[in-house]
Amino acid sequence: MTWIKYIEEPIVKEPIAIVGSPGLRSIGKIAVDYLIEELKPKLVAELYSPYFPILYQTVPSYVSHPDYPGQAGTLLKEGQVELPKVEFYLLPFPKLLITKGYHANFKGQYEVAHQVLDFYQEFGVKKMITIAGYGREGKEVCCAATDLELIKELKEYDIGTGYEGPFYGFSGLVFGLGMLRDIKGICLFGKTQPNLEDPEYPDPKAAKAVLERLSILLNFTIDLSKLEKRVLM
Amino acid sequence: MTMQFKIYKEPELKDPYMVTGLPGVGYVAKLSADYLIKELKAELFEEFYSSSFPPYVLIKKDGTVELLKNELYYWKDDKLKNDLIIFTGNTQAISPEGQYEISNEVLNRAEKFKVKKLFATAAYVTGRHVEKPKVYGVATEQELVEELKKYEVLPMDAGSISGTNGLLFGLAKLRKIQSICLLSETPGYMTPSGRVLTDVKSAQALLEVLSKMLDIKIDMKPLEKEAKMAEEFVQKMEELERRWAEEMRRSVTPPPKDIYI
């Protein structure tokens, strides 16, 4: 029932997928939105699903519950009519497939994640970097990966492990299920202070810290000054 | 619903028995299956992944990611008449449809390997703390019910065994696979925050019966030690909860009527 609307023929093969979604303190979402804003990649496809609510009955939205499927509907953004969706943007240099995620309800999470991974495989994606947040004591940015080799590599960039526990929502499943398709993945978690009243309340400072590490890892330059301003606001 | 299978090995097994134990109340069934795997050094041969599992992944202490999955292990011993298949996992399917789907896949394997007898494990929730958990049993045939008596397993005439642990047992009957379900007493103990505690003592009681029925010897000492520690912990929790309940009672007690200010 979940479907993909193709917008542009892919010309870049084997890009690295970058994944972010509205999770803890919206770190993944802010980071991905900023990459799209700054690097100006091309929108190549959109994924729609009947499992995408516009109104969630669970707080936070990424922790779903079988009894609370939410409400479907249409969104209005700056006068434009939109359905909730996942967006895929392609950048030729560095070769990135930036994925702006969206949380399905409990019933649809696996289906959506598998469809995203089907799409990645069409593009020949072999590596993926997921951006999310973590709310524990520790370093500014910590990591997780699909194998120990990658953990070792990340240590060379002074990024160590530091989070242990469940990884919920769109990004967690895409990252984890990628393993079954031999897509190597790393996840960069930005440290944040959980906000119990509004778990997705934006933390641009944590997103900036993750983007700094990402640009070093992938060896590209990005002007983070606009994000810096948002931190100060 | 989608399922994926990862096959590591196709073992050749001699008249195997199958033990099943997924996480449920008190983790009694899972603990029992895990302890058997650990003590016998059983080998993993297949993993199941399903969209009916809860939608999240686990980040382990070393930073690597683990998917929610169900697993099949095998163990062989030339001295014994029957090899062993153990089914467990770090989760169980949430929806009834998912539980049926997984159970049928497990039983397809049981038929393929010509399993002679299936031993499902489960928890018998009593809601109270017991000194020595009793083990109850049900079987698909009268002959097996008689066998249970030899091991001092208490009969269970009425009740229900929910989740995949119970369903496997019932579906096995439909497929004419001889099947026994062992249920070990557990309080189903929860902390005030709603966390279900792991009941090592209950798993130990279950394993004592199960190992005799399987005619295998396993060293219970590490489990005994763990059970003792868990027991002390449970007692502490009970004391804390008793005090907490007392505080709650006090806080809602109205002042005596004969006091005037």
Structure-block tokens of residue A51: 């499992």
Structure-block tokens of residue B46: 């297949």
| Minimum-distance CB partner of A151 among B49, B55, B63 | B63
CATH node for A3-8+17-232: 3.40.50.10900
Enumerate the domain spans of chain A. 3-8+17-232
Residue B65 to residue A143, Cβ atoms within 8 A: no
Average pLDDT over residues B116-136: 90
Residues of chain A with pLDDT under 70: 233
B95 at interface of A, judged by CB pairs closer than 8 A:
yes
The pTM of the full predicted model, rounded to 2 decimals, is 0.86
Encode pLDDT of B24-47 as tens digits: 888 899 999 999 999 999 999 999
Enumerate the domain spans of chain B. 3-220
Q: Which residue of B has its CA nearest to A104?
A: B55
Size of the A and B interface in Cβ pairs below 8 Å: 77
Bond into B256 cis (ω within 30): no
| Minimum-distance CB partner of B63 among A144, A168, A179 | A144
ipTM computed for the complex: 0.92
CATH node for B3-220: 3.40.50.10900
**How near does any CA of chain A get to the CA of B66, in Å?**
7
Encode pLDDT of A179-190 as tens digits: 999 999 999 999
Interface of B with A in 14-53 (CB under 8 A): 49, 51, 53
Q: What is the CA radius of gyration of chain A?
A: 17
Encode pLDDT of B67-111 as tens digits: 999 999 999 988 889 999 999 999 999 899 999 999 999 999 999
The H-or-E segment that residue B171 falls in is helix B163-174
CB burial string B116-147: b at 16+ within 10 A, e below: bbbbbbbbbbeeebeeebebbbbbbeeeeeeb
